[in-house]
Amino acid sequence: MLATLRGAPMGGATLLIAGAVICAALATGLRQSFGLFLAPMTTTLGWSSSGFAFAIALQVLLNGFAQPLVGQVADRIGGRTVVIGGAALYAIGILGMALSQGLPMFTFFAGIVMGIAVSAAGMPVINASLTRLLPEHLRGRAVGLGTAGSSFGQFAVVPLAQLGINVAGWQGALFLLAGAALLMIPLALPLDGRPAPPKAGQDDQTAMQALKLGLTTPTFWYIFFGFSVCGLHVSFLAVHLPGFVASCHLPASVGAAAIALIGLFNVAGSLISGELSQRWKRRELLIIIYASRGVLMTIFLLADKTTTNVLIFSAVMGLLWLSTIPPTVALMARNFGTRWLATMFGLVFVGHQLGGFAGAFLGGYIFDRTGSYDLMWSLCIAAAAFAALMHIPVQDGPKAVDPGPKAPGMTPPPRAATTG
């Protein structure tokens, strides 16, 4: 797969991308497994679904607000140190979740500690590091690979987490996940250190100038609010799809299989999206993705809730799951450059996580109040239509961006004119 990165020798660039892909796989797989613990932990400890969901929703929210700050640090000192620190916090947070006997303690570790950990060791920092280090003609493909790697982690880790729950109980499974989080530390070593200072003629924009440009540009806000819908969908399904499956009187293994299938099929979806984001207008690609999500959820809401239908829904949703990320990163780089990309994408990621907070918390709140997820599915469908409409006025012209520093041993080909 890495050999398809034409123009880059199989040396430093391969190590860089491989480490990033596997690190993203672990980070996402661990985080997406938390929904599996809702039923066993609330049953054993006597917690409410909304109490558990609030802790995870707080994680999502804090992840969003911390992301621009973490991105600023990564833009200044490089992604390597930030991701390593995030991996250590991952282990501490999951270990704290395992030892929690009350909701306040669980909320602290699952919400606050994990919120910061996910920001530091998550895809925004990893993808921004890849985008900054690689020449423009490889960025979309590399970000697609990184996103696909995170999805493969979801496919691989979630079933293992369910197996751990079945064999060792929910507490033992969390201990194992905490140990797995430490594997991200050596994987982050190939990521960049301190970014090279801009040379004469390159982008010497300051962080405050980049932020001011973003906050005063309509395209930024269109992307911000559209991306919030992605967070709404992803958090709702990641946290509540296993519970929804259980409410339909299907086996718990179907819920775990559904989350795993989403991750597996998103490998293909992310790679396809990464390729298309280099060939199509990113704006049109995002409109299609969000509209397709709405159509899919409508069909699923009206269909019989059988094991087959749940798995078909999960497979198709997987193709659309994180396929929003490559075109969104490309739009941010095209409109605002790459010098402060981790910061700028971190800022737009706040919108994603605001939506994620709503998806995680409202799912539990609505279920506790109504005994059904139907209203939440309807809200997700309406939100998909909103996101598609928000991307119609986004600017996606052939705006030039700085090529950025090169990964070791890489010599980009002469730059060709782009058509957007």
Report all structural domains of the chain as residue ranges with CATH numbers, in order of start. 9-194+207-390 (1.20.1250.20)
pLDDT at 180 (0 to 100):
93
pLDDT at 194 (0 to 100):
55
**Tens digit of pLDDT for each residue in 104-144?**
999 999 999 999 998 898 777 887 777 666 666 666 666 77
C-beta of residue 388 within 8 angstroms of C-beta of residue 105? no
Q: Could you please report the per-residue DSSP string of 123-141?
A: HHHHHHHHHHHS-HHHHHH
Residues of the chain below pLDDT 50:
1-11, 200-202, 400-420
pLDDT at 169 (0 to 100):
93
pLDDT at 405 (0 to 100):
47
Residues with Cβ within 8 Å of residue 115, at least 6 apart in sequence: 58, 59, 60, 61, 62, 63, 66
C-beta of residue 326 within 8 angstroms of C-beta of residue 409? no
What Cα–Cα distance (Å) separates residue 333 from each residue in 69, 101, 238? 18, 45, 28
Q: How many CB atoms lie within 10 A of CB 298?
A: 15
C-beta of residue 31 within 8 angstroms of C-beta of residue 117? no
pLDDT at 86 (0 to 100):
93
Where residue 397 falls (left for φ over 0; alpha for ψ -120 to 50; beta otherwise) is beta
**Tens digit of pLDDT for each residue in 34-66?**
888 988 999 899 998 888 988 988 887 888 788
Q: Is the pTM of this model over 0.75?
A: no
pLDDT at 134 (0 to 100):
64
Q: What angle is formed at CA 292 by the lines to CA 287 and CA 298, rounded to 5 degrees? A: 135
Distance, CA of 145 to CA of 10 (rounded, Å): 15
**Tens digit of pLDDT for each residue in 282-329?**
889 999 999 999 999 999 999 999 999 999 999 999 999 888 988 998
Q: The tokens of 360 are what?
A: 């995680």
In 3D, which of 207, 277, 16 has the Cα closest to residue 130?
16
In 3D, which of 130, 151, 134 has the Cα closest to residue 22?
151
Q: Could you please report the per-residue DSSP string of 22-63?
A: HHHHHHHHHHHTGGGGHHHHHHHHT--HHHHHHHHHHHHHHH
What DSSP element (H or E) covers 201?
Answer: none
In 3D, which of 67, 70, 75, 80 has the Cα closest to residue 19?
80
- CA dihedral over 261, 264, 270, 272, signed as positive or negative: negative
C-beta of residue 8 within 8 angstroms of C-beta of residue 411? no
pLDDT at 12 (0 to 100):
57
Q: The tokens of 12 are what?
A: 């430093």
pLDDT at 415 (0 to 100):
40
Residues with Cβ within 8 Å of residue 36, at least 6 apart in sequence: 158, 161, 162, 165, 242, 255, 256, 259
C-beta of residue 353 within 8 angstroms of C-beta of residue 66? no
